[in-house]
Structure 1
Amino acid sequence: MIKVGVAGYGVIGQRLADGVALQKDMELVGVADVSPTLAVRALKEKGMPYNLYNALPGNETLFAEAGIPVSGTLEELVQKVDIMLDATSAGVGAKNKEIYAKYNKKAIFQGGEKNSVADVFFHGYANYEKGIDKQFLKLTSCNTTGLIRAVDCLDREVGVEKVAITIIRRVADPGDYHRGLTNALQVEKAPSHQALDLMTIMPHVNATGILVHTPVTHGHIISVVATTKKKINKAETLSFFRKHPRIRVVSLSEGFLGNASLFRYARDLGNPRGDMYEIAVWEDSVVESGNDIMFVINIPQEAVVIPENMDAIRAATSMQTDKAAGVAATNNYLGLGKWLKK
């Protein structure tokens, strides 16, 4: 049984903790945060299902005043685990790495950290083997994670030479106020980091992309134009996607009109927080353009990286040294691909 700790109990950290708790071959030892945030207060109100550790020495009185029990410090949590999932703010993970290294523990960092923090820039499907038995792994961002899933899916079937992407990016997570109230679209300088990151993970694919920030909070939309080594039609493309347990094919006729439809559907399914681990491909968006194939995917930014984090634990700790076995275990425990059997 692999023992896991989570540093940072925010948007991603909460979901990482839940994801680990669902893995029957892992034990969640505890989570760490710096103050009694709303997420931590909710944890208390739910009866403290996870042990909480104080990540910032000197903040003990803040937790005590809020009546929130603390099981120790972050450093004490690190000593109790085999591997840490670090979901702290960008830059904090690099500092925490010193603690992980001090006790010779493995750790997985999220997309906000610099690539230099880790031994391997990791994706469960695209380069699982490179993460096996490594001490420090770094995950791709939410957009890059979902994008690689789709591109890797086609690449393994027919080979992909290049992709050109347009990302319509949500401006902030639900409940965030620091971005302000906006009524505008903002274009970033090309190429987007997601395209560059894809090439880091999949160096044989030539990728470029444009990113546009939009004043919404539920999910990103990515338009992909892929040049495949073997020309494929719409039916073939959809058949490939429909076999993938982390890709859901949806259509406008079913009522999936956009990102909000998918979020609402996840809530109607009873998913905690309305989370979706899978990306969605709109059947109606798949178009043949000369030798290229074009499609549109939805990225549920709050939860999409959770499966790949579970894959990373499996690879780094050598729980499964075979990619197929590793991702299959993650999919099974997270309930991914259930819709394929309906």
Structure 2
Amino acid sequence: MNKIKVGVVGYGVIGQRLADGVAKQEDMELIGVADVAPTLSIRALKEQGMPYDLYCSIDDTTALEQAGIPITGKLEDMLQKVDIVLDATSAGIGAKNKELYKKYGVKAIFQGGEKNEVADVFFHGYANYEKGVGADYLKLTSCNTTGLIRAVDCIHREVGVEKVAITIIRRVADPGDYHRGLTNALQVDKAPSHQAVDLMTIIPEVDATGILVHTPVTHGHIITVVATPKKDISKEELLKLFESHPRIRVVRLADGFLGNASLFRYARDLGNKRGDMYEIAIWEESIVKSGKDIMFAINIPQESVVIPENMDAIRAAMKMQLTREEGTKMTNQYLGMK
């Protein structure tokens, strides 16, 4: 089997998880990861015995060398060995890196922090996989938008969705971050939130709006969704839909899943690396009906939820599988999802 050769640029919160995700795909080969400095993630990579080759993203390798970090080469060396790159750099850096990717004829996938203009396709593995087939540059949706679209798309494909209204209770920073410090305060953003706008970009026939509230927590976002389906659907039917989706985990308050921290702890108890969970979770007890409308709440594990869709993006861009059903099935299989 000729494996697709993949590089990861930016080895931070998302980048290290992307590298692990690619390494699990038996029809892909991780050529290496690229970064600029001996961050904690890079130091941990060294202490693990350098399971992935490291390339320096800038010309000055002094900081990495002084920290004793083994370097395989420069970013341009890696680009000459790969078919496609997952760019997980800070917002704005990916757009600059795109010029290098063009120079070496390498396809690239950018994360949610980049502007939509950086890519040919604004991509989601379940909602518009086919639009990404053969594309040179794809941009993924943000973590919240990724999970939101999974849930809405699941309903939309079965009975159609006219409109949705969402409230996002957003974690303020990732675990370990120190640059954002809300204390005893909630902060409201102006409506509509970008997640609602992005959902309409991916699924234009669904009318969406939303409000976002920043909260002083780190372990995951929670989104409440009020959806108006085109056909009436019972709670029992909706539960079956959610339960059959490989990237949705239905949980119950009665079983002890009281909130985002419960799910993070459960992921660690499962032995998942870094406490990661690829699925969004939907609380069974949160599903209620108001006339035709349905309401439910979902948990978004922000550090890992986008990893499956990134694998889908590689499959689409490289024409590994040409349909949503085939591509997502292979991603799910190699990531060990139901």
Shift of 1:181: 4.8
Distance in 1 separating the partners of 2:324 and 2:238: 23
Aligned partner of residue 301 in structure 1, secondary structure: coil
Query: Could you tell me which residue of structure 1 aligns to residue 124 of structure 2?
Result: 123
Q: Give the Cα–Cα distance (whole angstroms) in 2 for the partners of residues 63 and 195 of structure 1.
A: 41
User: Map of 1:1-342 to 2, 5 A cutoff?
Assistant: 1-58=3-60, 60-337=61-338
* Amino acid across the alignment from 1:35: A
The one-letter amino acid paired with 1:268 is D
Q: After TM superposition, give the deviation of residue 323 of structure 1 in Å.
A: 1.3
List per-residue Cα deviations over 1:58-114 (Å, max 9, x = no partner). 1x1111111110011111111110000000000000000000011111000000000
| SS of residue paired to 2:228 | strand
Structure 2: stretches of 5+ with no match in the other structure: none
Q: What is the deviation of 1:322?
A: 1.6
Q: Distance in 2 between matches of 1:176 and 1:182?
A: 14
Distance 1:20 1:182 in 2: 37
8 Å contact from structure 2 (residues 181, 216) kept in 1: no
Three-state SS of the structure 2 residue aligned to 1:307 is helix
Out of 74-83 and 88-97, give the one that drifted further.
Answer: 74-83
Count of residue correspondences: 336
In structure 2, what is the equivalent of residue 340 of structure 1? none
**Structure-2 change in CA distance of 1:177 and 1:198 (3 Å):** same
Task: For 1:142, give the aligned amino acid.
Answer: C
Q: Distance in 2 between matches of 1:228 and 1:243?
A: 19
- 1:111 alignment partner, SS class: coil
The 2-side partners of 1:289 and 1:79 are apart by 56
Shift of 1:182: 2.1
**Distance in 2 between residues matched to 1:158 and 1:79, nearest whole Å:** 47
- CA–CA distance in structure 1, aligned partners of residues 232 and 325 of structure 2: 26
Q: How far apart are 1:199 and its partner, in Å?
A: 0.2
In structure 2, how many angstroms separate the alpha carbons of the residues matched to 1:323 and 1:81?
24
How many angstroms apart in 2 are the aligned matches of 1:257 and 1:266? 14
Moved over 4 A (4+): none
Percent of paired sites with the same residue: 76
SS in 2 for 1:311: helix
Query: Which TM-score applies when normalising by structure 2?
Result: 0.99
Q: Hey, what's the Cα distance between the residues in 1 that align with 2:52 and 2:45?
A: 8
State the distance in 1 between where 2:324 and 2:280 align. 20
Letter in 1 for 2:52: Y
For 1:148 and 1:78, the matched residues in 2 are separated by: 32
Cα RMSD of the aligned pairs, angstroms, is: 0.5
Q: Name the SS of the counterpart of 1:80 in structure 2.
A: coil
Report Cα offsets for 1:235-280 as digits up to 9, x if no partner: 1111100000000000011110000000000000000000000000
Shift in Å, 1:57:
1.1
